[in-house]
Structures are given as C-alpha cells and as structure tokens.
Chains A and B, each alone.
Chain A
C-alpha cells in the first residue's frame, strides 16, 4: 500500500521507519524460528568437551561428524547398540505402504462420493470427516487388542494397518474437496459414451489428479513419519519406528549424557520430512491449508 500516492518528506520518513520496524519484527521472528535448528546442528558437530566448556551458541571449532556416525549405527537404544539405522528402515517400510494404501483408497472414495452421488453419500462423507478429528487416545485400547488378535502386534504390518486406516479420513477429505471442483459434465459426457466407473477414473480423473496426489502423499508421509503415539503404543524393541527409538536414545539414563549424539539423532529423525518440505514446500503448504479452506 506504500507505493502509490506521493509522500511529503515527513511522510516519507515515517514510511521508512515503518519499513524498518517491519523488517526488525520479521527478522526477530526468523531468528526465533531458526534458533533450535542452529543449536541442534551446532551441538551435533561438537565434541563433549567443547559442549561442556563452551557456549550453546558458539560455532563448532571444526566439522566433527563423529556424533552423526555414532547416532546412526553405534548408539545404544535400550540394550541394543545398533544406532538409529534399523529404526530408520522400520519407518521407511511402515510409511511407504501406508502412504500408498491410504492415498489410493482416499482417491477412489473421494471420486465415488463426488462424481457418483448416491443416496447417503453426504452422510458417509460427514462420518468419514469426523474421523479426522477423533483423538486417537479413544481408539488405542481396542486397537491394541485387535492387533493382538490378528497377531500383528509389535510388527511393522500392525503400524501399516493403523496408519492406513486413520490416514484414510484425511486423504478422502483431500480428494473429495479437489474432485468437487472438477465439472460433472466431463463425467456425464463420458458415461453417455459408455465409459464405466473405472474407465472414467483412469482416463479422466487420474490425469487431472497429480497436484492433489502430491499433496496427499506429502501430508501422509509427514504425518506417518512423525507419529509417536501409535509407535509407542503398539511396538517395543526392534519393531519401533524411528521417532520412538530416538526418544529412547535421548532418554537413556545409563552412562555419560552425550548431547552431541542426542542432537545428531534428532537431526537424522527430522531429515526425511525436512527434505520433503524443502523440495516440495508449495504442496506441503497446500496440504496444511486444504483441511480448513474448503472447496
């Protein structure tokens, strides 16, 4: 709003002050947001002596990646001294199938609910939608028993099931809101031409879907990778996802507290989702806002 209208010198000066104030606030907040990242990376590159003797905010004397290597495949988690590596793969093997299943089912459900409006479709959508907001504490106990009955407690398969089911509510919401804006005429014209449910999905709907698929995949991957509650409730020992293992590593009370290893472990755990965020930030933001700004 500051560029049209010509300013008198006094107004010009006050505009400069406003600009200065604005930038000061923006930069102070940027520092606040970046402080933990700086501290975590910095601490992970120091050795223990430097951490104890120096300041939290000082730069590391040298780039020492010992803590990273130690956190990756040597540090003790419980009684197993394997580092985070096996748990990292647990999380990968848990997240990839769960993301794929929930995204595919969400796309099909969203498509059927919007383009093939049948009686009760709105009620079904409302019931699924509420599933997004149920506090998971209310499903943990029955889930623990159900997983036990099926015999997949404490396995990656159990977590794949859990994340696929509870991710479904979100993916259905994403796809439903996206497909609502695709004109019904497209589908109607194709039905007249004799195309069926799946043909229309493959030929018309899927080619229009890449943006929302990306949003859904990123959202689901971030949610599942970052989950702690389900991992902590349904797994112990070797089957744990990386977030649970990392928390155990940090809270292991035996031996000397190795802050540099703790911070390196936090960094390793955060790396995949941060990478996704940096590469595809635009879609990430769209996923965040998709749940609240509806079509």
Chain B
C-alpha cells in the first residue's frame, strides 16, 4: 500500500466515531430541529388548506389567540395538567411508601399497579368511555344498588369531561410514578435510617425528615415527565371524550390536529404547535440543563 493510502486509512480510523454518529445526528438535526424551523416558518405564512410560503407576520398567532376553541384548550390543559400531575404524584408516592413496608406478594401487586403503562391511551380511553356510559356503565350499576343520585357519566357532561380525562390519565400513569418512587426509596441509605430508628425516631419522622427530602430529584423527574405527558396528551382525548361535548374537553394537541387536518387552517395549526413547543421548552430546558450540569460536577 502506498504511504498516502496508509495515512488516509489512519485518518479514517480516527474519524470513525464521528462518522458513525453523523447519520443519527444528521437525522435528528433535520427531522427535529429542521422541522421545528419549518413549522415556525409555516406559522408566519397564510397557509390554509395547502402550505403557502407567503409570509404574513404574526397574524396566525393573533387569530389563534382570538379563537375560543384555543382558549378553552389552554384552560383545559392548565386544569388537566395540574390535577393530573398532583393526583398521580400523591397516589404514586402513597403506593410506593405502602409497598415499601415489607409487603408479602409485593411483586404481584406491583404488576397490577403498573400494567396500564403497557397499553395505549387509545385503549385506556375506550375502556373508561364504556365504564362511563350513562345508561349501561358503572352509573347504572351503582344506581341499581340504591344510590340513586350517583353520577359517573362524566364524558357526556361539559364541566365534568375534563375530570374524566384526569381520572383516566391518572389511572394510566400512577403506577409509573409508584415504580419511580419505589426504586428511589430502595436506594435511600439504610444506615442512616437504622441510626435514626435506634435514636428513637418514629417511622413518621423518619419518612418526613430523612427519606422524603432525599427523594427531591426523583420528585422533580416525576413532575417533569408527567408535565410533558400532559402537554402531549392527544390520543386519550380522541378515544375518551372526542374533545367534547362540543369542544369542552379539547386539549392543545387536539386543537392542532383539528386545525391542520380537518379545518384547512395550516397556519393556525402551526402557530399552535409552536406555542406547545415553547411551553415544553420552558419546562424541559432548565431541567435538562441542571441535569447535565450536575452530572459534570460528580
């Protein structure tokens, strides 16, 4: 082999890691960041049924925030997101602490709590929609037992439909939060716990003073992941309430789909997608930044 070829092969071998990473990185650059820029551009155009690349400034955003459907979607996201995150964390944390009490059959119970995580939101929505069927569902069963005023037909009620979404979403995700907290509980330093209990600290004090404070990072992770799930929620709404009655339980993701694919308002759809991205970024960027930073210090 001539000398220059050897040099070339050597350089190639040294650059191999970069060459291997390149296609994946290029794909992410194009399909994530390029597409974000593309959608951002579309959100400033007068695209209606078909993409149109004539810029019209922020008019699609103005139109977006004038639409009652969008205002309702944002309010729903706020209510849904807050309740979903709070309830899922409370239930998940409670179940994790209870399961940490040397429970016989712990593995079996954990399997039951966690299986909803394996199935699609579409199935969760379909199942709960059937349970909430006003004439044949749980409402009829409980009324048959004698509790005549019992109401569970939430999906057909304008004010209750959002809570139906919360309930189904918590059902789906509480087990996940439980798993997260349980693995954190198991990694708490047992020596400290033992020392505290030898010093006569009550179990309650041990939990509130030692164990729970040490779980702050997991708690943060859970909040961030659930918030991200809430903002992306789309299929659950489609299957459970269809966004209805009317558009009473619509969420931003459903709004975006509706505008883009059904109502020939591509510009407004793109604008709503950009607002969603901004919301996610406002939560994720500080979180990821602190995560990556703290890792460097360790």
Q: What is the interface of chain A, defined by CB distance below 8 A to chain B?
A: 1-3, 22, 25-26, 29-30, 32-37, 39-40, 43, 51-52, 55-57, 105-106, 108-109, 112-113, 116, 118, 121-122, 124, 126-131, 133-143, 145, 165-166, 168-169, 172, 196-198, 222, 225-229, 232-233, 243, 246-247, 250-251, 259, 262-263, 266, 269-270, 273-274, 276-278, 281, 284-285, 288-289, 291-294
Contacts and interface: CB of A to CB of B under 8 A. Distances in A.
Contacts of B184: 293
Which secondary structure dominates where chain A touches chain B? helix
9 closest A-B pairs by CB:
A226-B120, A116-B17, A292-B221, A277-B118, A228-B235, A142-B38, A36-B127, A112-B17, A142-B35
A77 to B, nearest CB: 14
Interface in B4-35: 13, 16-18, 20-21, 23-25, 27-29, 31-35
20 contacts: A22-B98, A25-B94, A25-B98, A33-B116, A33-B175, A51-B136, A56-B131, A57-B141, A105-B23, A137-B273, A139-B39, A142-B38, A142-B42, A196-B13, A197-B16, A226-B122, A229-B235, A259-B136, A262-B126, A281-B114
Contacts of A121: 21
A247 B131 contact: no
B124 A36 contact: yes
A142 to B, nearest CB: 4
A229 B256 CA distance: 11
A251 B238 CA distance: 10
Interface of B: 13, 16-18, 20-21, 23-25, 27-29, 31-36, 38-39, 42, 51, 91, 94-95, 98-99, 101-103, 109, 111-124, 126-128, 130-131, 136-138, 140-141, 144, 171, 175-176, 179-180, 183-184, 197, 203, 206, 218, 221-222, 224-225, 228, 231-232, 234-235, 238-239, 242, 252-253, 256-257, 260-261, 266, 269-270, 272-274, 276-277, 280, 284-285, 288, 291-292, 295
Given A135-B253, A137-B277, 5 more contacts: A33-B175, A128-B28, A138-B274, A285-B114, A288-B180
A194 B215 CA distance: 45
A289 B118 contact: no
- Of B222, B272, B273, the most chain A CB neighbours within 10 A belong to B273
A33 B130 contact: no
B176 A130 contact: no
A292 B222 contact: yes
- Of A142, A277, A289, the most chain B CB neighbours within 10 A belong to A142
